[in-house]
Amino acid sequence: MADAELGFHSAIAQCARSLENLEACLQKAERYAHDRKFDVGVLMSGRLAPDMQPFVYQVQSACDYVKHAAGWLAGEAPPKHADTETTVGEIRERISKTVAYVSSVSPARYDRAAAQKIALPWAPGKVIGREDYLLQVAIPNIYFHLAMAYAILRHNGVDIGKMDFLGPMNFVEA
């Protein structure tokens, strides 16, 4: 297996891990709503500015970019998920389905698609190389939408910080 394929696998695995970190933030959001006696569902429509997409869209988009990256970089069609989520439970399920799909794509599957070029739905007639797609499209968009979701929760008072965004770290002996 080539180093590039292992790199693709590692990059996508890190993005999936970031989705799991967001799921942990959702747990904190539920506790926050419970403690303050309001319906956590109101956070699903939260936004930072009137012209931006709401929280639920941010999570849907982050999931889409992660699963598209895994599929397209492996030369496969990623699964389709309808954008019908309205509750925290449904958003959690979407995150779970995305992480499960990404986890099912082995490094060897990225190797099979070494010459793969990515056709982007929003750029008809154009293609982009796999590495450029990962670095110029997928990763920036994944982290943009994750950061917006995190910021919306924080803006609405959920007690989360940078370490919640980063998630647990695997420290080793010095």
Q: In this structure, is residue 171 part of a structural domain?
A: no
pLDDT tier for residue 4 given thresholds of 50, 70 and 90: low
Q: Tokens for 142?
A: 């994944």
Judge contact between 82 and 60, C-beta under 8 A. no
The CATH number of whichever domain residue 136 belongs to comes to 1.20.120.450
The dihedral formed by the CA atoms of 32, 33, 36 and 39, expressed in degrees to the nearest 10: 180
* CA pseudo-torsion sign 23, 9, 67, 147: positive
Please choose, from the candidates 112, 141, 144, 91, the residue with its C-alpha nearest in 3D space to the C-alpha of residue 1: 112
List all residues 6 or more positions away from 165 whose beta carbon is below 8 Å from its beta carbon. 18, 21, 25, 146, 147, 150
Q: In this structure, is residue 46 part of a structural domain?
A: no
The mean predicted confidence, pLDDT, of the chain is: 93
pLDDT tier for residue 1 given thresholds of 50, 70 and 90: very low
Could you read off the pLDDT of 52-87 as tens digits, one per residue? 999 999 999 999 999 999 999 998 999 999 999 999
pTM comes to 0.93
Q: In this structure, is residue 174 part of a structural domain?
A: no
Range of the domain at 15: 3-40+51-166
Q: In this structure, is residue 17 part of a structural domain?
A: yes
Q: Quote the CA–CA distance of 144 and 62 in Å, as a whole number.
A: 8
Q: In this structure, is residue 173 part of a structural domain?
A: no
Could you read off the pLDDT of 21-32 as tens digits, one per residue? 999 999 999 999
Structurally, the chain folds into a number of domains equal to 1
**pLDDT of 46:** 96
Judge contact between 40 and 29, C-beta under 8 A. yes
**pLDDT of 108:** 87
